[in-house]
């Protein structure tokens, strides 16, 4: 998670949106992505989607069981769209820093649809969720992006 946080800070310093996602297999980063909607105008270009797209050919070469061994690290709790994509790809473990409640709830598609509430509803089986890792660092990234929800 620390690597994702560090990369997010670099991305923000470069004037980009600082939600960073990493795919890690056996302790090694195999792909990295960050939100690109500010650069592209594509509102679906979230960090999770970017990393899944960049690793698509690698993931397609893996068996279902091998994909289950990959962990996604992301600096912000995945939204509904990203959460579904993670499930479709066949990943089983997601570690995230800032929680949805830390983000600006006005930009959320549906309030209350957090990773934890969606998890038991997945048709491909629940994911192993590890929320709030280095949460204060994740909140700092949101604050730098101007996305920290006023509490």
Q: Which domains are present in the chain?
A: 1-145 (3.40.140.10)
* Cα–Cα distance for residue pair 23/61, rounded to 1 Å: 15
Local structure of 86: helix, strand or coil: helix
Lowest mean pLDDT among 39-43, 50-54, 57-61, 82-86: 39-43
The residue ranking higher by pLDDT, 144 or 65, is: 65
Q: Spot the catalytic one: 39, 48, 65, 77.
A: 48
The residue ranking higher by pLDDT, 112 or 50, is: 50
Q: Which residues contact 113 (CB under 8 A, 6 or more apart)?
A: 80
Answer whether residue 150 shows pLDDT above 80.
Answer: no
Give tens-digit pLDDT for 74-88: 999 999 899 999 999
Q: 151 pLDDT band (50/70/90 cuts)? A: very low
pLDDT of 9: 95
Q: Which residue has the tokens 């660092």?
A: 137
* Cα–Cα distance for residue pair 136/146, rounded to 1 Å: 15
pLDDT of 38: 82
Mean model confidence pLDDT for the chain: 90
77 noted as active-site residue = no
pLDDT of 144: 87
The sign one gets for the Cα dihedral 129, 109, 97, 37 is positive
CA 61 vs. chain centroid, Å, equals 22
């Amino acid at each position: 998670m620390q690597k994702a946080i560090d990369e997010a800070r670099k991305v923000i310093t470069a004037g980009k949106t600082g939600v960073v996602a990493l795919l890690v297999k056996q302790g090694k980063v195999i792909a990295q992505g960050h939100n690109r909607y500010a650069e592209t105008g594509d509102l679906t270009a979230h960090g999770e989607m970017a990393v899944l797209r960049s690793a698509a050919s690698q993931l397609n070469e893996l068996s279902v069981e091998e994909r289950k061994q990959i962990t996604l690290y992301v600096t912000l709790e995945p939204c509904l769209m990203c959460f579904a994509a993670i499930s479709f790809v066949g990943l089983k473990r997601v570690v995230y820093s800032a929680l949805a409640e830390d983000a600006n709830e006005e930009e959320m598609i549906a309030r209350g649809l957090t990773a934890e509430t969606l998890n038991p509803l997945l048709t491909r089986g629940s994911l192993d969720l590890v929320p709030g890792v280095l949460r204060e660092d994740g909140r700092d990234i949101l604050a730098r992006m101007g996305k920290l929800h006023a509490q």
